[in-house]
Amino acid sequence: ICGDVAPVAKRSADVQALQGFADWFFDLVNKLKNYGSELVCGARLQELLDLLGLPDQLDGAVKMAQDFICGSSLLEKRSEVLSPERQLQLVGGFMDTVREMYLRLKTT
């Protein structure tokens, strides 16, 4: 009846990993928000990477955070809380990038 539980365990680990990336991403968004939208929205991507002390490999995540801040009215409403499902949707592109980077590194 129960069958193989390995796929369930793998899915649970995948969800935990995604949640970890979502948490990291929103920490990044909060750091950028602390600098103010004028600085963040007017800065070039490389300037933000330097400011945050992040490697160039994370430029996609920083760009996504910059776009999130500069192009979203959600963050203007500080009282609004995003659901975990919405958070995961927002970092989906970032996860794809990380997965591609991992596969490239794994094969080299």
Q: Exposed, middle or buried: residue 100 (CB in 10 Å: 0-12, 13-18, 19+)?
A: exposed
**What pTM, to 2 d.p., does this model score?**
0.56
| Spatial contact of 18 and 91, defined as CB atoms under 8 Å apart | yes
What is the Cα–Cα distance from 100 to 52, expressed in whole angstroms?
A: 23
Residue % of the chain over a pLDDT of 90: 27
* pLDDT confidence bin for 72, thresholds 50/70/90: low
Q: At how many degrees (to 10) do helices 6-35 and 59-70 cross?
A: 60
CA proximity to 68, closest of 28, 96, 39? 28
